[in-house]
Structure 1
Amino acid sequence: MKRIVFLILAMLLVLTGCGGTTVESSYQQITQEEAKEMMDTQEVVILDVREQDEFDAGHIPGAVLLPVGTITEDTAAAVIDDLDTVVLVYCRSGNRSKTASQALADLGYTNVYEFGGINSWPYEIEE
């Protein structure tokens, strides 16, 4: 009986030790002030993930449009050519930018920063 209990415990230890660890890809959330500083001091891709009509009504200068619902490996690669590029993501209020940032991180982009929405952007907007 002791031998069976010992074997069962040993097997449980071996099986639980075989579980792999998963690395969860993620993005960083930053303030709009930090995003503006990054825009002013380094090479970045500013990614607007709203819809075309919203982008046309006003966007951050230098931003490129990639609506959140269209993000795939191919569409992302068309506007962000390197997985290590610094990508600053925004939308209108901050909801879609979080979804888009996680989608980019899941695709393997390593320097994704989400900074909320243009509705509270205190800096220049281009129309």
Structure 2
Amino acid sequence: MVSPPCPASSRERREASVVDIPDQEQELADRFYAKHGPCCAGCDWWHRVNTLVGQCHKSAPVSGAERYAMLGMRVNRPLEAGHVLTTREHHCGDFKDEFDWASLSPWYLRKIGMERAAATGESNG
């Protein structure tokens, strides 16, 4: 079975879900961001790989060793170059959230813990 293509950035996934209910992985990322505030899970630069790890597209691709370094992984095999992988809770100075949270339904915003965004159109960033 072929895996689905790598998901788009968190922002693009949320924008695509204005009409549709976000998928379960996106909902988990949104809940994490709502609970913990600015972090990779809510960053526009972060492209989710799974519920815990994603790629930061703020900077250019790096070598394989650099790509996996922030995950604390050391591997003896050659690693593909790519964007730096980070955990969802990571927070750096390049955090960006320009998504219009008010474009999501109020029930979804309450469900993920973004009541303030539902009421005011603000984000956690």
Which of the five TM-score ranges fits, normalised by the shorter chain? under 0.3
**TM (normalized to structure 2)?**
0.28
Pair member with larger Rg: 1
Greater share of helix: 1
Greater share of strand: 1
